[in-house]
Amino acid sequence: MTHTCVLIPGDGIGPEVADATKRVLEASGAPLEWVSRPAGVAALDQGHDAVLPQTTVDAILEHGLALKGPCTTPVGGGFSSVNVALRKTLQLYGAVRPVRSLDGVETRYQDVDLVVIRENTEGLYAGIENEITEGVVSSLKVATQNACDRISRFAFEFARQSGRKKVTVLHKANIMKLSDGMFLKAAQAMHESYQDIVLEERIIDAGCMQIVQGPENFDILLCENLYGDVMSDLCAGLVGGLGVTPGANYGADNAVFEAVHGSAPDIAGKGVANPLALLMSGVMMLNHLHRTRNDETCGRCAESIRDAYNLALREGAMTGDLGGSLGTEAFADAVIARLGGGR
Ligand code: ATP
């Protein structure tokens, strides 16, 4: 069985980390075939008239699977964000962002093991903004019962399937009584069917403080769109930064795997970006193929890559953002050399 994956290299450090990730996935023997499609500024550079060309969307709809580098949206160019558009068009409503301490990566915390689950399709990202009159603008925060219910179900199902015990909803329902109120109530109602999982609630500001004080007290963090965005970067900071934080966006029929980080223009083209976050996203993709298409080879490859990068990090092979000296390609080589325990 071979799986066709749409590869979207993206912008900035995207092509560098995508290429390194693809090399490691191929070296692991993962049964993947690649179809490369552009998005972001790269799409405009290649002559498309949109940052998210229809051919890219169609390829994902056809194959149900994409590995995506970060995409830049030109500021003030009249384009809406590629990432937001992709998630909305494909109804990739559930983002899963695991945040875990890594041996060999020194941080202020040990034993962090959290998953941020972010609602991906509405909230303040609905893109409804108005200029009411000169000097007065508004951005509308949207919550729908359907989206609140499905992300709640998704979080509890994820908890069950991954053997996790607790979901903490982060909200500001004391201020945004209708929108965050609906989000919170949906989680409470859904919890009736998932009594084996503990449900906790935190007002987002107090929750941030408590996560920083004791991340080990949290398990799954369930957030609406904007809170999930901010919380993902906050949690990334607990374990070594954006270079080690992967992500997956799931819809009913499609899944797009991408790192939490953006295109990092400050280090683009220098060959120093850490490809690990996208590589970890690739491992999530292999586990998804194992789970949903019953492909055990994918499961074995995922395990082999995870063991290899863990070993590399333990042995001090890492990129500059983690305090090491390797560039993007050299780190990918270090992982490849350790596949199968270092042949
Ligand atoms: P966006 O606003 O597009 O979501 P972001 O807030 O996630 O982006 P990034 O562009 O990803 O921000 O990067 C923030 C900083 O983190 C960058 O300046 C860069 O130095 C660092 N960074 C991000 N990703 C990586 C990576 N893969 N390897 C090394 N450093 C990284």
Write out pLDDT tens, residues 220-250.
999 999 999 999 999 999 999 999 999 999 9
What's the 110 CA to ligand 1 centre distance in angstroms? 23
Residues 6+ apart with CB under 8 A from 71: 8, 10, 11, 14, 39, 40, 41, 42, 51, 82, 83, 263
pLDDT score recorded for residue 59:
98
Query: For position 342, what pLDDT does the model report?
Result: 59
At 295-335, the pLDDT tens digits run 999 999 999 999 999 999 999 999 999 999 999 999 999 99
Torsion of CA 275, 276, 278, 284, to 10 degrees: 160
The structural domains of the chain, with segments of one domain joined by +, span 1-92+245-343, 108-239
% of the chain at pLDDT higher than 70: 98
Q: What is residue 73's predicted lDDT score, i.e. its pLDDT?
A: 80
What fold is seen in the domain 1-92+245-343?
A: Isopropylmalate Dehydrogenase (3.40.718)
Say what the pLDDT of residue 133 is. Answer: 97
**The CATH number fitting domain 108-239, selected from 3.40.50.620, 3.40.50.1010, 3.10.20.600, 3.40.718.10:** 3.40.718.10
List, for residues 58-91, the tens digit of each pLDDT value.
Answer: 999 999 999 999 999 877 666 778 888 898 899 9
Same fold, 1-92+245-343 and 108-239: yes
Measured by CA distance, the residue closest to atom 14 of ligand 1 is: 264
Round to whole Å and give the CA distance between 251 and 210: 31
Residue 55: CB atoms within 10 A of its CB come to 12
The pLDDT, as a whole number, for residue 127 is 81
Distance 182 CA to ligand 1 centre (A): 32
pLDDT at 138 over 80: yes
**C-alpha distances out from residue 273 to 209, 243, 262, 265, 287, Å:** 30, 8, 11, 10, 24
Q: Atom 3 in ligand 1: which residue has the minimum CA distance? A: 262
